[in-house]
Amino acid sequence: MLDIKLLRDNLAAVGARLKDRGVTLDFHHEFRLVDERRRRLLAEVELLKAGRNKASEEVGRKKRLGEPAEDLVAEMREVGDRIKALDQSVKECEEQIAVFLLTVPNLPHASVPMGADSAGNVEIRRWGEPRRFDFSPKPHWEIGEALGLLDFERAARMAQARFAVLTGMGARLERALINFMLDLHTKEHGYTEVFPPLLVNAAAMTGTGQLPKFADDLFKTHDESLYLIPTAEVPVTNLYRDEILAPGTLPRSFVAFTPCFRREAGSYGKDTRGLIRQHQFNKVELVTFAEPAHSYDVLEQMVRNAETVLQRLGLPHRTVVLCTGDMGFSAAKTYDLEVWLPAQGEGGAYREISSVSNCEAFQARRANIRYRSAPKAPPEYVHTLNGSGVAVGRTFVAILENYQQADGSVLIPEALRPYMDGLERIANRQPRA
């Protein structure tokens, strides 16, 4: 959520910066006119309350002198009714403004490149050279099904399309990736591991920006107002909801493995085969709470932490900074990591495997997460940052496609072998039900 004072004082500038994101909102009718009415009502309330206070003093004086005060008391009662009505109108204005503010996205940082869509994203660096195959590389779903690692048909029967069953060494590889990522981030990068609830309330979803804008992409329980998390960013960012963090305790960095659940609304027809776009998938998420003065240094470090995962696994990738028109709702600046998938598109393609964002105070203001820079300093909003460290399913895909062999087997990256009892290759079809 943006600072309401920023809108009041710099509304034209805010509107211009949001247009850079391709967002046009009716600030005049939805905010300015309502806010002006609210302030007029408040001014009238203050005048009436001041008059009522004077009248109360006069009633007291008259009663002490034994003079009649019934007319003044009746007048005060009418003023009280008017104040009550005005207070209700003020409340309605404030509620209307609050609802509108929840629809306003974050402002892009000054360093974010201008652009209307993904074509405007800017590549920052690349790591690794895509492998040259002496055979035609197969897509991961063909490799996984041939080796008995993946079963999409049975998953669809027990659920629906865009689910998968991982079997045998497929399940083992997924678990190995999760443990590898958690160990890397906790033992080498200094993150604290947390396992949060997979169901959260609407307030938590609102705090990170999933509600109200992305309600159609969420799975909601039928009998309670709880939602399956679309990412661990939601519960982990809400760890300190409505709290004030003590001086000297920032940054606080957390890593969480969770399943994630998304309807993928609006994505029908895209990536219908394989694991790229599933309703349920695993992810290792990084979340940091930082002081505003240092949050962009933290952002760069988080990007490097996510890149390290792919480098240890020997997966070629590139890092891009998203342009104004391609950023997420809550982000002020975002980097995407895109891994090379040799069987995607015509001759291979880079596909997103991690997004790392600085949301500045946008989420903290919605979730009321603050800190003190000194013991007696006034509380300020923290900056929240989040990023995939990384998406497990897409890493699974990248390993199958990049490490596939001509005989149909798949080599295991060296970094993962300790997590798979030293196994070097998946060569045989796994037993199936």
Kindly tell me if the per-residue pLDDT of 266 is higher than 70: no
394 is catalytic: yes
Whether 372 is catalytic: no
Catalytic residue among 162, 351, 366, 394: 394
Catalytic residue among 52, 277, 417, 429: 277
Task: Give the pLDDT mean for 208-233.
Answer: 94
Query: What number is the average pLDDT over the span 83-91?
Result: 96
User: pLDDT tens digits, residue range 313-344?
Assistant: 999 999 999 999 999 999 999 999 999 999 99
Residue 123: pLDDT band (50, 70, 90) is: very high
pLDDT of residue 72: 87
Q: What is the pLDDT of residues 142-171, one digit of tens each?
A: 999 999 999 999 999 999 999 999 999 999
Told to judge if 188 belongs to the known catalytic residues of this protein, a careful annotator would answer no
Q: Is the pLDDT of residue 39 over 80?
A: yes
Instruction: Indicate whether 189 pLDDT > 70.
Output: yes
Would you say residue 126 has pLDDT above 60?
yes
* CA 177 – CA 174 distance, rounded (Å): 5
pLDDT, tens digit, 9 for 90 and up, residues 380-402: 999 999 999 999 999 999 999 99
| Catalytic pick among 295, 355, 357, 388 | 355
Segment 338-358, tens digit of pLDDT: 999 999 988 999 999 999 999
| 262 assigned to active site | yes
Helix 70-101 vs helix 33-65: crossing angle, to nearest 10: 160
For 75-114, give one letter per residue: b (16+ CB within 10 A) or e.
ebeeeeeebeebeebbeebeebbeebbeebbbbbbeebee
